[in-house]
Structures are given as structure tokens and as C-alpha cells.
Amino acid sequence: MKALAAFSLIAARLAATSPTGAECLCTYDETCWPSSSDFSQLQGQVSQPLIYPLPTASACYPVSNPSGNCTAVLENSADPIWRASMPGSMEAPNFETFIFKNGTIDACYSNTTLGIPCGQGSVPVIGVDARSPEDIQAAVNFAVNHNLKLVVKNTGHDFMGRSAARGAFVVWTHNMKNITYNSQFVPQGAPSNETYDAITLGAGVQWHEAYDAINRYGRMMVGGASDGGSVGAAGGWILGGGHSALAPTYGLGVDNVVEMTVVLSTGEYLTVNDHQYSDLYWALRGGGGGTYGILTSVTYRTYPSLPVAFYLFEANATSSSAMQDMFTELMHRQVQFSDDGWAGYGSSTNSSMYFFYIAPNMSTAQANATTQGWTDYAQALTSQGISSSALITQFASWYDWYTEVYSSPGQNGMNRMMASRLLSRDTLENGYQDISKVFFDCGASWNLVAGGKVSEIDPDSVGLNPAWRDAIIEALCVVQWPDGTPSQEIHEKVDEVKSLIKAIHDATPNDSAYFNEASLFEVDWQQTFFGSHYAALKTIKDKYDPHRLFIVAEGVGSEDWNTELTCRI
Ligand SMILES: Cc1cc2nc3c(=O)[nH]c(=O)nc-3n(C[C@H](O)[C@H](O)[C@H](O)COP(=O)(O)OP(=O)(O)OC[C@H]3O[C@@H](n4cnc5c(N)ncnc54)[C@H](O)[C@@H]3O)c2cc1C
Ligand SMILES: *[C@@H]1O[C@H](CO)[C@@H](O)[C@H](O)[C@H]1NC(C)=O
Ligand SMILES: *[C@@H]1O[C@H](CO)[C@@H](O)[C@H](O)[C@H]1NC(C)=O
Ligand SMILES: *[C@@H]1O[C@H](CO)[C@@H](O)[C@H](O)[C@H]1NC(C)=O
Ligand SMILES: *[C@@H]1O[C@H](CO)[C@@H](O)[C@H](O)[C@H]1NC(C)=O
Ligand SMILES: *[C@@H]1O[C@H](CO)[C@@H](O)[C@H](O)[C@H]1NC(C)=O
Ligand SMILES: *[C@@H]1O[C@H](CO)[C@@H](O)[C@H](O)[C@H]1NC(C)=O
Ligand SMILES: *[C@@H]1O[C@H](CO)[C@@H](O)[C@H](O)[C@H]1NC(C)=O
Ligand SMILES: *[C@@H]1O[C@H](CO)[C@@H](O)[C@H](O)[C@H]1NC(C)=O
Ligand SMILES: *[C@@H]1O[C@H](CO)[C@@H](O)[C@H](O)[C@H]1NC(C)=O
Ligand SMILES: *[C@@H]1O[C@H](CO)[C@@H](O)[C@H](O)[C@H]1NC(C)=O
């Protein structure tokens, strides 16, 4: 019975072919789109009303969204928590837009004086507000039955717009907010003495919620850092790897999972860990979001809360070339910062620089001793027009530090693309000159989130790109543009990103990039994002996603699809 059902579903998917005979998925504007009675049937199987996502700014266009509140859009559109709370809203609004081949942009801009009507762009048109694995099973079965283009959306923070697609059906995981702490967690299928001090997060939990919850138990965990804590704690972040300022101490997100639950395209709901479905469990830890199934929860290890030492460095320069020399030297010294136990974030332009690093459980004396070399080096540059300041302080707990630095929502909601690289120990020790120039010229930011424990873990223990084990920092160049920019200028921005990527590759041919923080234009992305694990990940994807429902840009298996990821090639 089960096998028969699976066979007829595959047959249904093969039946949908494009005029050229290619195997295509069904999108909103086509005659294959399900009827309203099909959708009523789906409605009968899920716990919440079906959702009809709209672009963020639709509220400013009464024709598109008569009940919308434009004041709220104008007030909140830079707030990542607010954006993540809506199924049609992406962190970077460019991923809500769609550019036709002729250059026309279908978009909905919050700037109404541009005089452009509000279009749906790449925002999915209908979907399921999932609250349980059963809701997701119903949604997945429906999508497979009707051969729909499906996307999974959690916070919409993806830097490649993987949580949106034009004319798609969406599974929205945002409201799966369950959090359960268990100091004696036993994975399913494990011997009863295999216990973990662990926290289980539903797929929609965001980092600020996870941190608040675990702090109440006097504990902390490896997680992401962003203004407002808006990144999803159990979606794309962990599936892509999950970096953290605590990673150099405890390993990356993927190194801290003990169990996951997932719904497959077959509708099966699996609990995966080291004892069951260990191949899928391996792939889900770093093999990429939106590729193998829909994660419904993640169980993470937790650690006793520790104090952290904090080092804040700032500098201003009157000379761009003096700044460049300082930046180059700072990159070179990242290995030492890392080996001394530091982790954190920084950013530089041609006239200013700042970075702030933390070290768990480090005394102030040790913090001073390990940073004095850099502080002195910078101070000695006063004669070259560089003024700098350094501050060392202690926070009573990691959570206190996080709250101080990240609790305000910040400024997001910009149209953006990025080029990035994981810089290895070898590059930073021996080949740092050329790559430092590329990143200095783009006004780079960097994340010191690898090295330490990340380097000590067996690269083959999880699906994640082994290159993470050699990395020390991730460096990034971000390209931004305002709403209303014509498509020709956007294409110029794309060319800028492409030439940055080329320069980065030329300077560091043996390094890699992080699947979650990169662009749609990565060179040889299978190698760059997954390295030697690609073939194994593809085999596991084919095994667990027989209906080929889960396809995302530059994700495992996506090379078999067209650019729109709607037709197999
Ligand atoms: C402001 C900001 C700060 C960031 N900080 C960090 C950081 O500190 N560390 C770090 O490692 N990364 C960081 N990132 C990158 C982040 O990891 C990615 O943006 C990631 O894709 C976010 O995942 P999400 O689930 O929140 O977002 P979404 O855009 O909703 O999802 C991302 C991808 O995962 C898929 N997906 C989401 N949920 C599921 C699910 N339940 N099952 C299957 N697939 C799913 C989506 O389909 C999509 O392909 C940051 C990003 C931003 C915008
Ligand atoms: C619209 O949003 C603004 C800002 O968030 C709020 O103050 C106002 O009460 C809202 N208006 C309505 C009608 O909900
Ligand atoms: C571009 O193509 C789209 C989709 O076919 C169409 O709606 C639009 O009118 C075209 N624009 C121009 C300027 O031809
Ligand atoms: C909105 O667009 C108009 C017209 O291009 C422009 O003059 C104005 O600066 C824009 N406003 C904002 C807030 O970007
Ligand atoms: C969430 O937690 C509650 C209480 O522990 C439980 O009853 C419910 O089944 C959980 N929901 C999901 C989707 O796991
Ligand atoms: C669990 O018990 C078994 C058998 O007594 C033992 O071999 C194993 O080492 C124990 N494992 C842990 C994690 O304590
Ligand atoms: C510094 O960068 C700004 C823009 O980021 C640019 O306009 C300026 O020319 C640069 N200055 C030097 C000296 O390179
Ligand atoms: C923190 O430092 C103290 C004092 O050096 C040490 O005793 C303790 O073991 C450390 N804790 C951890 C978890 O590293
Ligand atoms: C480190 O300690 C020395 C000697 O006490 C002091 O002069 C210096 O200011 C300290 N550095 C920082 C960054 O606090
Ligand atoms: C750098 O410049 C900024 C802005 O002018 C100023 O706030 C900051 O104090 C300066 N920092 C240093 C170390 O000179
Ligand atoms: C890249 O790796 C190859 C093979 O290991 C080596 O020959 C080459 O020198 C490396 N290139 C750089 C720039 O490190």
C-alpha cells in the first residue's frame, strides 16, 4: 500500500513536463496550479488557516493589502525580529523581488514615492503555518501530490534568498516555538546511560529565545550572534553549519547537536541521531538547509554558564595606506588571537576599524597579556595618523555579554549580496598579503569563529565542509543598494560581487566558503561549500528525498535544475 502510493506520487511528478519535455514543477501562474477545492482539502488537514504571504511593504499599497498598516512598515522595516515574524518578509528585501529577463523588476518597495505598483515578486503565494510535524506532513504530501515548487521559510534571513521563490508554496516554520530543557536527555535508540545536558528547540525558535531559556538554568549554548538575536536556532543556521563566538571553545553548531527530528518528502517523520538514520543525521549537520527534508526540532548540548573576558579595539586613520597596513597585520595576527582563546567579530573601512572579541573563562590579567602585543603595535602607529583605543573588561556571564551587545534590533532590511571566504590557518600565516588587500578594498567584516575546538574535531564526523576544520576566520564583503535601483545597476552590483569572488579565489584557491554566508555566484560551489563531502551528501540526498522536493540555490543536487530551480535539466 505504502509502496503503491509512493509510485503513483512519483508518476504524478513525472507527468508534469514543460513544452520542451523537461520535468518541471508547478508554480502559481500555471494551469497545473491546484484548485481552490484542492486547497480546501489541505485546509482540512492542517491546524491553522492557510497563509497568503505578502511582500513586507504591501501594507503601503491599499490595492494589494487593504487592511495593512503602512506606518508600522515604515517604523519597523529595519527590525529583523519584526521582519521574521511575517511569512512574506525576507531579511534582505531584494529576495522578495523578481527580475524578468527583459529587466523589468516585479517588487513592492516601501518607498511609495517611486511610483511603482506593489508586485508579489518572489514571495510565495500560499502555504502552511506549521505548528507540528503533522502540519508539515500534510503540507509535504500536498506539495508532492500536486508537484508544487516548495520552499521552507523560517526567519527569511538566508543570504541567497533560499526561503523565497516566485509562485511557490511555502512551509512556514516560524511558529514552532517549543523549547524543552532536559539535563538527562537520552537520544532515541541510545543506551539509557548515554545522557546529555540538552535543550530541544522547535524549528521556529530564534536565538534570542533560546538564549533567554537556557540562561534560566544557569547554562549557555553555542549559537549565532546578530542584532536582536533574530537568526533561527533550528533551521538554516544549523543545517549550514552554525558559527558562534563560542565555537572556538565548544565546536560549531553542528558539533553540538545530539538529535534532530525531520519530515521527509515521503511524509515520513524521523528522529535522527548517532543511533538511527545516522547517514541522514550526518548530512543534516552542515549539508545545507532546504535540501534533505524539513527539520522540526534540534536538540543541542548545553554548558555551564561562564564569565567572559572582553576586548574592544577601535581605530581611526587619516591615511588609507596606513590603515591598510594595519588591517593586513591584524589579519596575520588572527591565528595568535585564536590560539590564545579569543573569538568575535570585526569590521574595517579605509578610515576606521573596530573589533570586539571574547574569551570564556579568561582572567583579566590573561586577557591583558594576550592582547598587549596588538594594543602596543596599534598605539605605535600614532605617528602615521592612526588613533586607537583598547578596552578590556569582564562580563559575569556569556549571557550578560550577549545582552549588552545584541539586545537592540539594529539596522537591517537592506538590499544586499555578499562575497566571503573561510581563511585557513595556512593562508593567514603565509599568504595573508594578497587576500588582505582584497578584503581591505571592499571594506570587510570578519568573524573569528573557527580555530580552537573547531579544528580539533574529526572533519568526517559531520557532513559539514571539512575546510571549516582548517579555518580561523570568515571574511566577508557586502554589497548593498537602495530600493528602486534599476535592474541594469543591480546587474552592475552583481558584476562587482562576481569580480570580488574571482579576486578572492585567485588569492586563496585552496580555501572555502560558508554555505550560509555567500552569494548566488560562487565559483565551483560544490567544492567551495562542501569540499570532499559533496559526493556523500548527494548520495544521502537522493536516498532520503526520492521525490526531489527540496531544492535550493547552490544546495546539494541543485546542479540538476535550471536557474529558477523549477525544471530539471
Ligand atoms: C543578521 C544575520 C546574522 C547572522 N549571524 C550568523 C551567525 O552568527 N552565525 C551563522 O552561522 N550564521 C549567521 N547568519 C547566517 C544564517 O545562518 C543564515 O542566514 C541562515 O540561512 C538563517 O537560517 P534561518 O532558518 O534563520 O533563515 P531562513 O532564510 O528562513 O532559512 C534559511 C535556509 O534554510 C532552510 N530552512 C529553514 N528552516 C528549515 C527547516 N526547518 N528545515 C529545512 N530547511 C530549513 C530554508 O529553506 C533556507 O534554504 C546570519 C544571518 C543574518 C541575516
Ligand atoms: C499602525 O502601526 C503603528 C506603529 O506600529 C501603531 O502605532 C498604530 O497603532 C497602528 N495602527 C493601527 C490601526 O493598528
Ligand atoms: C518584461 O516582461 C514581463 C513578463 O513577461 C512583462 O510583464 C513586462 O511588461 C515586460 N516589460 C517590458 C518593459 O517589456
Ligand atoms: C524615495 O524615492 C524618491 C524618488 O526616487 C527619492 O527621492 C527618495 O529619496 C526616496 N526615499 C527614501 C526614504 O529612500
Ligand atoms: C510542545 O510542547 C508541549 C508541552 O510540552 C507538547 O504538548 C507539544 O506536543 C509540543 N509540540 C510540539 C510540536 O512538539
Ligand atoms: C554505559 O554502560 C555501558 C555498559 O555498562 C558501558 O560500557 C558504557 O561505557 C556506558 N556509557 C556511558 C556513556 O557511560
Ligand atoms: C575610502 O572609501 C570611500 C568609500 O568607501 C571612498 O569614497 C574613498 O575614496 C576611499 N578613500 C581612499 C583614500 O581610498
Ligand atoms: C574556569 O577557570 C577556572 C579558574 O582558572 C577553572 O578552575 C575552571 O575549571 C574553568 N572552567 C572551565 C569550564 O573551563
Ligand atoms: C594592560 O595592563 C597594563 C599594565 O597594567 C596597562 O598599562 C594596560 O592599560 C592594560 N591594557 C588594557 C587594554 O587594559
Ligand atoms: C573614531 O572616530 C569616531 C567617530 O568620529 C569616534 O567616535 C571614536 O571615538 C574615534 N575612536 C578613536 C579610537 O579615535
Ligand atoms: C594549493 O594546494 C596545492 C596542492 O596542495 C598546492 O600545490 C598549492 O601551492 C596551494 N596553493 C596555495 C596558494 O596555497
Cβ-Cβ contacts under 8 Å for 569 (sequence gap 6 or more): 22, 560, 561, 562
pLDDT tens-digit map of 170-223? 999 999 999 999 999 999 999 999 999 999 999 999 999 999 999 999 999 999
DSSP 30-69: STTSPPHHHHHHHHTTSSS--B----GGGGG-TTT-TT--
Query: Is 431 close to ligand 11, i.e. is its CB under 6 Å away?
Result: yes
Nearest CA to ligand 4 atom 13: 111
Nearest CA to ligand 6 atom 6: 193
Q: Angle, nearest 10°, between helix axes 398-406 and 207-215?
A: 150
- Mean pLDDT (the chain) is 95
Q: Angle, nearest 10°, between helix axes 432-441 and 320-332?
A: 130
Classified as helix, coil or strand, 336 is helix
Task: Please name every residue paired with 206 in a beta bridge, in sequence order, or none if there are none.
Answer: 232
- Block residue for cell numbers 511557490: 168
The rounded Å distance from CA 505 to ligand 1 centre is 24
Q: Among 65-79, 417-431, 444-458, whose mean pLDDT is lowest?
A: 65-79
Atom of ligand 6 nearest to the CA of 193: 1
Atom of ligand 5 nearest to the CA of 297: 14
Query: Is 115 close to ligand 4, i.e. is its CB under 6 Å away?
Result: no
pLDDT exceeds cutoff 90 at 451: yes
Share above pLDDT 70 across residues of the chain, in percent, rounded to a whole number: 96
Task: Report d(CA 98, CA 101) in Å as an integer.
Answer: 10
Q: Which residues are near ligand 6 (CB < 6 Å)? A: 191, 193-194
The third-level CATH classification (topology) of the domain covering 308-530 is Vanillyl-alcohol Oxidase; Chain A, domain 3 (3.40.462)
Cβ contact 222:247 at 8 Å? yes
- What pLDDT does residue 9 have? 40
> Burial letters for 247-273: b for 16+ Cβ neighbours within 10 Å, e otherwise?
bbbbbbbbbbbbbbbbbbbbbebbbbb
Class of domain 179-304: alpha beta
* C-alpha closest to that of 127 among 210, 48, 190, 55: 48
Estimate to the nearest angstrom the gap between the alpha carbon of 228 and the chain centroid. Answer: 15
- For the range 558-563, what are the long-range contacts, defined as Cβ-Cβ under 8 Å and sequence gap of 24 or more? 559/526, 562/22
Query: Is 318 close to ligand 10, i.e. is its CB under 6 Å away?
Result: no
pLDDT exceeds cutoff 60 at 4: no
- What pLDDT does residue 18 have? 45
Classified as helix, coil or strand, 453 is helix
pLDDT tens-digit map of 286-326? 999 999 999 999 999 999 999 999 999 999 999 999 999 99
Nearest CA to ligand 4 atom 11: 111
The rounded Å distance from CA 100 to ligand 3 centre is 7
Query: Is 390 close to ligand 9, i.e. is its CB under 6 Å away?
Result: yes
Cβ contact 348:444 at 8 Å? yes
Task: Report d(CA 543, CA 300) in Å as an integer.
Answer: 26
- Block residue for cell numbers 538554568: 217
Alpha carbon distances (Å) from 392 to 309, 357, 365:
7, 10, 10
The preferred substitution site among 29, 97, 101, 104 for testing ligand 3, maximizing ligand atoms within 8 Å of CB, is 104
DSSP 271-328: EESSSSSHHHHHHHTTS-TTSS-EEEEEEEE-EE---EEEEEEEEEES-HHHHHHHHH
Cβ contact 273:363 at 8 Å? no
The rounded Å distance from CA 348 to ligand 10 centre is 13
The rounded Å distance from CA 361 to ligand 8 centre is 6
Query: Is 201 close to ligand 1, i.e. is its CB under 6 Å away?
Result: no
> Cβ of 315: how many Cβ atoms within 10 Å?
23
pLDDT exceeds cutoff 50 at 2: no
CATH 3.30.43.10 fits 2-175+535-560, yes or no: yes
pLDDT tens-digit map of 251-294? 999 999 999 999 999 999 999 999 999 999 999 999 999 999 99
Look at the alpha carbons of 23, 29, 32, 33 in this order and tell me if their dihedral is positive or negative. positive
Atom of ligand 6 nearest to the CA of 194: 13
> Cβ of 62: how many Cβ atoms within 10 Å?
12
The rounded Å distance from CA 169 to ligand 3 centre is 24
Cβ contact 133:141 at 8 Å? no
Ligand nearest to the CA of 470: 11
Domain chopping of the chain, boundaries:
2-175+535-560, 179-304, 308-530
Query: Is 315 close to ligand 10, i.e. is its CB under 6 Å away?
Result: yes
Nearest CA to ligand 9 atom 1: 368
pLDDT tens-digit map of 132-156? 999 999 999 999 999 999 999 999 9
Query: Is 71 close to ligand 10, i.e. is its CB under 6 Å away?
Result: no
Atom of ligand 2 nearest to the CA of 76: 5
Nearest CA to ligand 3 atom 8: 104
- What pLDDT does residue 6 have? 38
Cβ contact 68:82 at 8 Å? no
235 phi/psi in degrees, rounded to 5? -135, -120
